[in-house]
Homo-oligomer: A and B are copies of this chain.
């Protein structure tokens, strides 16, 4: 029953999964050195290029890092928040762009999670967080700011809010949600009035966090969500009006 079935998957995929299981299950610990490519090739009964493809798969997920030289080899990576973060953003961005997700759905998810952070942020915010939020607020009032920079500032503002919750796991999760939406937001051209209103809502959030008023913060975020959806809806409607239903082929 073991060798009867022709392997449906590639050898390199199998090997990668085998090694990944070893890492996830703790049979290979952080910092451990994997056998050399030649040894792995012999162990699995394949050639070195095949092993290398498997290792590259793991490297793509930041599970291992490779160094060459006498004491080189592949080492089990310490998955930092930063690396996890980066993958989270890539995955979330693609998920959003490839699945025709209504902006409303994405917004809802994002603000739901952000509201989850709010009580913690209110309880634990430091002056550093407040300073960051106020600094971004100031930038957002600058009429010279490009739309892209405005969106970037928006992201920075919300990141500061999330970080104020002082829970790295939450920060990591939210980073994906917030930053993945930036490309979507970048498609919006903001009028001066839009910006003023968004900044005002941001100010309400900041004030609530400073006052450690979780309920007010929640309300401000809810209002911000509603306005964001409204704005985006208007943009989409305008775009749809300009390029009406795909002409049939």
Contact = CB atoms under 8 A, between A and B. Distances in A.
B168 A177 contact: no
A84 B90 contact: no
B57 A168 contact: no
Contacts of A20: 90
B101 A112 contact: no
Interface stretch (A102-110, A191-199, A231-239): A102-110
A61 interface: yes
Main secondary structure of the interface of A (DSSP, over half): helix
B101 A79 contact: no
Given A24-B90, A53-B52, A169-B101, A108 B120 contact: yes
27 contacts: A20-B90, A23-B94, A26-B97, A30-B98, A52-B53, A57-B59, A60-B61, A61-B61, A61-B91, A79-B91, A84-B92, A88-B91, A95-B172, A101-B168, A105-B167, A105-B169, A106-B169, A108-B120, A109-B169, A109-B173, A112-B117, A112-B119, A112-B165, A113-B116, A113-B170, A116-B116, A173-B177
A85 B87 CA distance: 12
A78 interface: yes
Interface in A136-178: 165, 167-170, 172-173, 176-177
A115 interface: yes
A206 interface: no
Contact of A108 (B12, B56, B167): B167
Contacts of A204: none
Given A53-B53, A113-B113, A95 B91 contact: no
Give 7 nearest A-B pairs by CB, closest first.
A116-B116, A109-B169, A57-B60, A112-B116, A60-B60, A109-B170, A53-B56
